[in-house]
């Protein structure tokens, strides 16, 4: 589990599932395993008979049989006791629960549990069979493994499901999406969800992920971010982790499985997702991460356009790196970034072209010149930008 920010301490994790154990605990480093003994039939009976006012012979017999059937597992015993008490009250709850179970009257709950187990282990096959590959439910399912399995805003899920709410409810009922407590973003009324980790495991094994649609949805979700408006910063804070996970999916994509539109997907990821991640970290003064993400964006762009290509998106990333280096007071490095960005913009739009982005870069370069005490150079750049 993600334990960042918890400080020193221990986490207790209990499970009977080897698959869950492997997924949650990883290679077992720094994990102390303890095999818990099950309860004896008599101790299991005592758990089931807690708070029983009448212990008739038939109730005792039902308690013994249930304890044996549940293999002495404490949590299962407590759950059955609670369900039986809620369903049948204080009068012979265990006997009546066992009778109904023998008659098959509890099949609805059993079927629901089986269905959820099936979905978690084979989600794509199940949804494909029930809803079809063209359904919004399948579309939503196919993009979930592209995001990190925590703190996912409902608005992003809705974009992934073609602006429909029903697919979210459907996957929530199936146990794939799990409701999270609101308040991930302060004063937010939006619902948040986590994605079941088994879905990521299944997707990795089958490589059933719709990365292009995930990139488009993430780009749309980040569209409202404005580095100059602090009101837009907090909503983006819950998306940067998902953008990082999405980048890993793109980076690890098998070249043989990349479709014809893959360069466009990478271009969109760089210009409208990763650039916003870098800008978010810059305005929140996490400059080390800001520099990292703008550098990652630059490397990815050059892998698509070419190492020596002149491109407006690459120039914009160079400008972003210049902004970060300026804030880090690496003025020489910032000057190099701005100069390269300016030269690239002029090669794209023309040496004497009038363009807002060129004016912005002239202004940024002028600021650095002024900080370097080259006031004459700064004045010339400001004049060009003004013109």
Q: What is the pLDDT of residues 310-346, one digit of tens each?
A: 888 999 999 999 999 999 999 998 899 999 988 998 8
Strand, coil or helix: 321: helix
Give the span between the Cα atoms of 247 and 149, in whole angstroms.
Answer: 15
How sure is the predictor about 4, in pLDDT bands with cuts at 50, 70 and 90?
Answer: very low
The pLDDT value given to residue 120: 62
Q: How do 192-195 and 177-180 pair as beta strands?
A: antiparallel
Distances (CA, A) of 39 to 12, 36, 42, 76, 81: 20, 9, 8, 11, 15
Contacts of 332 (CB under 8 A, 6+ apart): 372
Q: Is-contact 67 44, C-beta < 8 A?
A: yes
Mean pLDDT of the chain: 81
308 has a pLDDT exceeding 60: yes
The total of other beta-carbon atoms located within 10 Å of residue 363's CB is 16
User: Residue-wise over 113-152: b if at least 16 C-beta within 10 A, else e?
Assistant: eeeeeebbeebbebbbeebeeebbbbbbbbbbbbbbbbbb
Structural domains in the chain, sorted by start:
1-103 (no CATH), 123-209 (1.10.10)
Contacts of 233 (CB under 8 A, 6+ apart): 225, 280, 283, 284
Query: Is this prediction's pTM over 0.75?
Result: no
Q: What's the rounded mean pLDDT across residues 38-65? A: 86
Per-residue confidence at 296, pLDDT binned at 50, 70, 90? very high
- Say if residues 157 and 178 touch (Cβ distance below 8 Å): no
Cα–Cα distance between 367 and 136 in angstroms, integer? Answer: 50
């Amino acid at each position: 589990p993600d334990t960042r920010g918890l400080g020193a301490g221990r986490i207790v994790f209990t499970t009977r599932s080897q698959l869950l154990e492997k997924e949650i605990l990883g290679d077992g480093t720094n994990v102390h395993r303890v095999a818990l003994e099950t309860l004896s039939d008599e101790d299991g009976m005592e758990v089931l008979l807690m708070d029983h006012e009448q212990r008739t012979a038939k109730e005792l017999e039902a308690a013994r049989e249930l304890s044996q059937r549940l293999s002495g597992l404490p949590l299962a015993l407590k759950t059955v006791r609670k369900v039986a008490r809620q369903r049948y009250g204080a009068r012979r709850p265990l006997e009546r629960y066992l009778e109904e179970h023998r008659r098959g009257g509890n099949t609805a709950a059993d079927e629901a549990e089986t269905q959820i187990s099936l979905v978690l282990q084979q989600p794509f096959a199940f949804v494909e069979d029930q809803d079809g590959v063209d359904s919004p439910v399948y579309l939503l399912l196919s993009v979930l493994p592209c995001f990190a399995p925590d703190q996912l805003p409902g608005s992003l899920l809705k974009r992934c499901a073609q602006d429909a709410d029903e697919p979210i409810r459907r996957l929530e009922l199936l146990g794939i999406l799990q409701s999270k407590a609101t308040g991930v973003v302060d004063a937010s009324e939006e619902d948040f969800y986590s994605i079941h980790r088994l879905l990521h495991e299944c997707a990795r094994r089958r490589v059933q992920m719709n990365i292009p649609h995930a990139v488009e949805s993430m780009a749309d979700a980040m569209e409202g971010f404005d580095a100059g408006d602090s009101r837009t910063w907090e909503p983006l804070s819950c998306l940067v982790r998902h953008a990082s996970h999405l980048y890993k999916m793109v980076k690890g994509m098998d070249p043989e499985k990349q479709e014809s539109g893959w360069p466009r997907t990478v271009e969109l990821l760089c210009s409208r997702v990763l650039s916003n991640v870098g800008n978010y970290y810059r305005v929140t003064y996490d400059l080390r991460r800001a520099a990292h993400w703008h550098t990652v964006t630059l490397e990815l762009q050059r892998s698509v356009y070419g190492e020596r290509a002149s491109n407006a998106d690459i120039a914009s990333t160079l400008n972003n790196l210049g902004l970060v280096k300026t804030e880090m007071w690496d003025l020489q490095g910032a000057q190099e970034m701005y100069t390269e960005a300016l030269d690239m913009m002029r090669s794209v739009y023309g040496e004497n072209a009038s363009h807002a982005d060129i004016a912005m870069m002239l202004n940024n370069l002028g600021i650095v010149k002024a900080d370097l005490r080259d006031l004459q150079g700064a004045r010339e750049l400001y004049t060009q930008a003004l013109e």
